[in-house]
Amino acid sequence: MNWTILDSHDQLETIAQEAIEKPVVIYKHSYRCSIATVAHSRLDKASELAQSSAYLLDVVKDRDISLQLAETYSVQHESPQILVIHRGEVVYHTSHLGITPTELSSQINSLVTA
């Protein structure tokens, strides 16, 4: 998986624009959390996610961006957490061990083929 590092508030507008055309995945990761390490490893093996843009947010370093995402999209902040944004809204989100490449791929495929 090729992640774009999300570390600037300015990128949130870019993400919103990208998400008009195709799904955007944001993975909120904590390098301090073993569950996040497992989730990240799972996602890195998910080559089918190439149909979307993928962003990695370090929630410890950039907590303010994570909180802004939570406010903008009305989704409670969690870590680790996956958000799929499409056409101005979060269309899928899950956290912790609920993060699986199979489910994420299914969600993205349903948006791409719709």
Query: For the domain that residue 90 is a member of, what is the CATH number?
Result: 3.40.30.10
Residue-wise pLDDT tens for the chain (114 aa)? 788 999 999 999 999 999 999 999 999 999 888 889 888 888 887 765 666 889 999 999 999 999 999 999 999 999 999 999 999 999 999 999 899 888 888 888 888 776
Give the Cα separation of 69 and 102 in Å (integer): 24
**The pLDDT of residue 48:** 59
Domain total of the chain: 1
Domain span at 33: 4-112
- Total-model pTM: 0.92
* Rg, Å, the chain Cα set: 13
